[in-house]
């Protein structure tokens, strides 16, 4: 049974005004006209519309709440969720190359494939990777039994491959000069090349002082 509250990202005690606000926000975000009629956004938009139609009508919402409660009581709540399979047809790919993933789960009432969103307990998705992060694209399958408050997660990492060595070299050089996230060791977010240069300078200074002390 579909969890319309989950589709809208609200709790079952949400007010009518809360439902309207969330619906307006999500319908604008996922409207197909604003997302090049992408199938994923079109599917999410239909789910949002369907959830709003039920939850915005007090009588239909009351009936839905009763059915949802009965469904949850009859659900196999004593068995934790599990992932039977989660596979991709390739784990090395170029930008724009088509990828096919398959998954099958059990004992779960909420299934998400990130970065795409809510999915059925089993299925297949075909997509193209338009951007890699540090040469990698991460897929995560989240499988939840909400009555047990238990979630199982499994990931697939797809690494980027290049048409030729020149393209790979270019990507590596760009990565070396790209600003990095700020950390305790790199408070200013300096590129990797600067951190490497500072490391060489520090190492050279240390070697110099060691030889100077022994001479």
- Say whether both 117 and 170 belong to one domain: no
- Say whether both 150 and 188 belong to one domain: no
- Say whether both 54 and 88 belong to one domain: no
Domain region containing 132? 82-160
User: What ranges in the chain are assigned the alpha helix state H?
Assistant: 4-8, 16-30, 39-55, 58-74, 165-177, 192-214
Boundary (domain end) residue, out of 74, 90, 115: 74
Boundary (domain end) residue, out of 160, 185, 203: 160
Domain count within the chain: 3
The DSSP call for residue 78 is T
Q: Which structure tokens are listed for 45?
A: 């938009």
pTM of the model: 0.49
- Say whether both 169 and 190 belong to one domain: yes
- Say whether both 99 and 35 belong to one domain: no
If one counts every other C-beta atom within 10 angstroms of the C-beta of residue 142, the result is: 20
- Say whether both 52 and 102 belong to one domain: no
- pLDDT digits over 21-62, tens only? 999 999 988 888 888 877 778 888 888 999 999 999 999 999
Residue whose token pair is 């399979």: 85
Among residues 118, 129, 120, 114, the alpha carbon closest in space to that of 26 is found at 118
Boundary (domain end) residue, out of 24, 51, 74: 74
- Say whether both 66 and 96 belong to one domain: no
- pLDDT digits over 103-159, tens only? 999 888 889 999 998 888 888 999 999 889 889 999 999 999 877 888 999 999 999
- In CATH, what number is assigned to the domain containing residue 109? 2.60.40
- Say whether both 63 and 92 belong to one domain: no
């Amino acid at each position: 049974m579909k969890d319309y509250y989950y589709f809208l990202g609200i709790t079952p005690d949400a007010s009518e005004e809360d439902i309207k606000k969330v619906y307006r926000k999500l319908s604008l975000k996922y409207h197909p006209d604003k997302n090049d009629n992408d199938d994923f956004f079109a599917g999410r938009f239909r789910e949002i519309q369907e959830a709003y139609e039920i939850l915005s009508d007090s009588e239909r919402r009351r009936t839905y709440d009763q059915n949802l409660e009965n469904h949850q009581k009859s659900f196999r709540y004593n068995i934790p969720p599990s992932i039977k399979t989660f596979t991709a047809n390739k784990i090395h790919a170029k930008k724009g190359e088509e990828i096919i993933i398959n998954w099958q789960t059990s004992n779960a009432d909420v299934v998400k494939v990130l970065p795409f969103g809510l999915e059925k307990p089993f299925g297949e998705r075909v997509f193209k990777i338009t951007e890699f992060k540090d040469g990698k694209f991460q897929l995560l399958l989240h499988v939840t039994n909400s009555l047990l408050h238990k979630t199982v997660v499994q990931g697939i990492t797809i690494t980027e491959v290049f048409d030729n060595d020149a393209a790979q070299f270019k990507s590596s050089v760009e990565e070396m000069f790209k600003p990095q996230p700020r950390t305790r060791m790199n408070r200013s977010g300096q590129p990797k090349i600067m951190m490497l240069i500072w490391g060489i300078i520090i190492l050279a200074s240390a070697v110099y002082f060691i030889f100077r002390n022994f001479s």
